[in-house]
Amino acid sequence: MDADLHEDFDGSLMRSGVRGKHAKRYHEGTNLVLLAPDVAAAFPDAKAVNDTLRLLMTVAKQSASASKAATPA
């Protein structure tokens, strides 16, 4: 295996890795979303994005419920 590696690469680094370390998380599914630069600038971190999206989902659900209640049958 070392014969296939670039001469500057330290092969001992590969021996310390754990095979499949992130496999479970990968199979559970991870969604990555690329934010437009102007949107990304409005959020300091992933938590802020998630909190805002959760709030928006709550508002949308409440708005839909209010619309259904206000519509005559």
Task: Tell whether 14 is covered by a domain.
Answer: no
Q: How far apart are CA 23 and CA 31, in angstroms?
A: 15
Q: Is the pLDDT of residue 73 over 70?
A: no
Task: Tell whether 5 is covered by a domain.
Answer: no
Task: Tell whether 24 is covered by a domain.
Answer: no
pLDDT digits (tens, 9 = 90+) for 10-66: 767 666 677 888 788 777 777 778 999 999 999 999 999 999 999 999 999 999 888
Task: Tell whether 12 is covered by a domain.
Answer: no
Q: Is the pLDDT of residue 2 over 60?
A: no
The domain in which residue 59 lies consists of 36-73
**Vertex 52 angle, CA 50 and 57, to 5°:** 95
Task: Tell whether 71 is covered by a domain.
Answer: yes
Task: Tell whether 27 is covered by a domain.
Answer: no
Total number of domains constituting the chain: 1
Task: Tell whether 58 is covered by a domain.
Answer: yes
Task: Tell whether 2 is covered by a domain.
Answer: no
Record the pTM.
Answer: 0.53
